[in-house]
Amino acid sequence: MKNYHYPHSDLADELDRLREAHLYRALRTLASPQGPQPLIDGRRMLAFCSNDYLGLANHPQVIAAFKRGADTYGVGSGASHLVTGHSVAHQALEEDLADFTGRARALLFSSGYLANLGVTSALTGRADQVFEDRLNHASLLDGARLSRARLRRYAHADPLILASMLDGDKARIVATDGVFSMDGNLAPVPALVPIARRADAWLLVDDAHGLGVLGEEGRGSLAHWGLGPEQVPILVGTLGKAFGTAGAFVAGSRELIETLIQRARSYIYTTAPPPAIAAATRESLRIAQRESCRRERLQTLIRRFRAGAAELDLPLLDSATPIQPLIAGTARQALAWSRQLEAFGILVSAIRPPTVPEGSARLRITFSAAHTVEDIDRLLETLGSLRCEAPETQAAAVC
């Protein structure tokens, strides 16, 4: 009997290729609560790579609400929402989120990825077209691909290109990030509204990085632009970033939410999030709304950082959000910068292809309201000492 050969060597060869191309990704282990100075891989470091924008992931009131939720509902939800997993805590959070976003209803998903897969697959099919910004989050792009609709990508943040692609054509969905997760810039949503209307398309905005951070009471990029459900009928949001917990939601009309309950496979066939998470999120949502000082502090830190970066002539992208990308160009350079910072006790992740386009590898620097002015100054001082990687035969140059 001939022994079957499992292709382990093929996997090993591919892993070696990733290492040689400086694209290999390694896990780090967190041994403390989320915060500006977490314990990572056994070392206390000053971190600028979390999405905990408002500093709520370790807030004592949020922790207390989580504990009360666990005492009341237990740990696991035990089933999908449509079986026995939908608790009164989930229901209350959905009502709070609908009110927060100014929409008729909201529907919880276990993650932002599942929310985007669920919406697109529920609303489109083979005969449909989905138009998306080229730099949309992977979950939006994958949602269109898995829906079997035709995915068409327009140039980043370019409504004129989108309009020309749609001229005389039809679309089922036009989708964009509200704040782009790797660039930190806002989508030109006001310009997309009339384009989507002319194409008779749903306009979907994933505001994962805008909610809690932008707009009055942190209501997000749509509030920043003064847009509501009439202009943007589908809003997707996540809870694991500014709100400090986990999960996601879709907000919209009653008919939209009922359709998702009936047809979104990533909702129907997924275990509901723990009810205690929902209880904690209700508390973090209240804190985010009433404590505008957190957003004000964020803006103060961002302005200080950008002013200091300009003095150092650092290659930053234009961003007024907590996401501040420092462009390295090559994956090798981004990794080198990340390692240089780590040697000084500062943690910033290197973002490389395929997460970002070739030639635009970067350090994705992110801020939290829990950071201090002293933290920003320490980061700037260290960034000023970064050195550019040169070819092996040359000495490194000062950036």
Query: Using the 8-state DSSP alphabet, how is residue 81 labeled?
Result: I
How far is CA 118 from each of CA 110, 142, 264, 275, rounded to the nearest angstrom?
Answer: 11, 11, 4, 21
DSSP 230-291: TT--EEEEESSSTT-S--EEEEE-HHHHHHHHHH-HHHHTSBPPPHHHHHHHHHHHHHHHH-
**Is 371 among the residues known to form the active site?**
no
Strand partners of residue 398? 387
**Is 241 among the residues known to form the active site?**
yes
Side-chain half-sphere CA neighbours of 196 within 13 A: 24
Query: Using the 8-state DSSP alphabet, how is residue 167 labeled?
Result: T
Give the β-pairing of 150-154 and 129-133. Answer: parallel
**Is 67 among the residues known to form the active site?**
no
Number of Cβ within a 10 Å radius of residue 292 = 12
Distance, CA of 164 to CA of 154 (rounded, Å)? 10
Burial-class residue 17 by CB neighbours within 10 Å (0-12, 13-18, 19+): exposed
Report cis status (omega within 30 of 0) of the bond before 229. no
The vertex-354 CA angle with 391 and 21, nearest 5°, equals: 30
Distance, CA of 367 to CA of 54 (rounded, Å)? 9
Is the Cβ–Cβ distance between 362 and 326 less than 8 Å? yes
Distance, CA of 230 to CA of 232 (rounded, Å)? 6
Residue in 121, 181, 349, 360 annotated catalytic: 181
Q: Look at phi and psi of residue 200 and say left if phi exceeds 0, alpha if psi is from -120 to 50, else beta.
A: left
The 3-state DSSP class for residue 132 equals: strand
The vertex-250 CA angle with 86 and 57, nearest 5°, equals: 75
Residue in 86, 224, 241, 371 annotated catalytic: 241
- Residues in CB range of 378: below 8 A, 6 or more apart: 46, 346
Residue in 22, 209, 224, 371 annotated catalytic: 209
Q: Which residues are catalytic?
A: 181, 209, 241
